[in-house]
Structure 1
């Protein structure tokens, strides 16, 4: 089963650290998994991802950027 949540982040980014913690908590709570991709290593990403990290996708569609709201993420995963 593939991860429903994807986090595009970069090392040394405090917003990425905060987003990762929220995503990990919500995914654990709901029995979901997430994958993380380093925007500085990835090829072919939309250009705006560089400025908007962290970027969160749910089921392949952009869900959030900069901050992750736990309640909104729960709703998206349940919905």
Structure 2
């Protein structure tokens, strides 16, 4: 929803299909990365995400 509002692109990845991602994030699903840096996990705060995206 936030990406649609801000025009930001996003990619959904299934960590069960990537062993390295699974090892790193298995207990943090869902995890959100912004510019390849971990932004949040478990719950996404829309206002905080908008700010991180520069919107």
TM-score, scaled relative to structure 2? 0.88
Is 1:61 equivalent to 2:15 in the alignment?
Answer: no
Q: Pairwise CA RMSD of aligned residues?
A: 1.6
Count of residue pairs the alignment pairs up: 55
Match of 1:17 in 2: none
Gaps of 5+ in 2: none
Which of 24, 31, 52 does residue 7 from structure 2 map onto?
A: 31
Bigger fraction of residues in strand: 1
Distance between the aligned counterparts of 1:40 and 1:47, measured in 2? 9
Distance between the aligned counterparts of 1:45 and 1:37, measured in 2? 9
TM-score, scaled relative to structure 1? 0.63
Relative contact order higher in (CA < 8 Å, ≥ 6 apart): 1
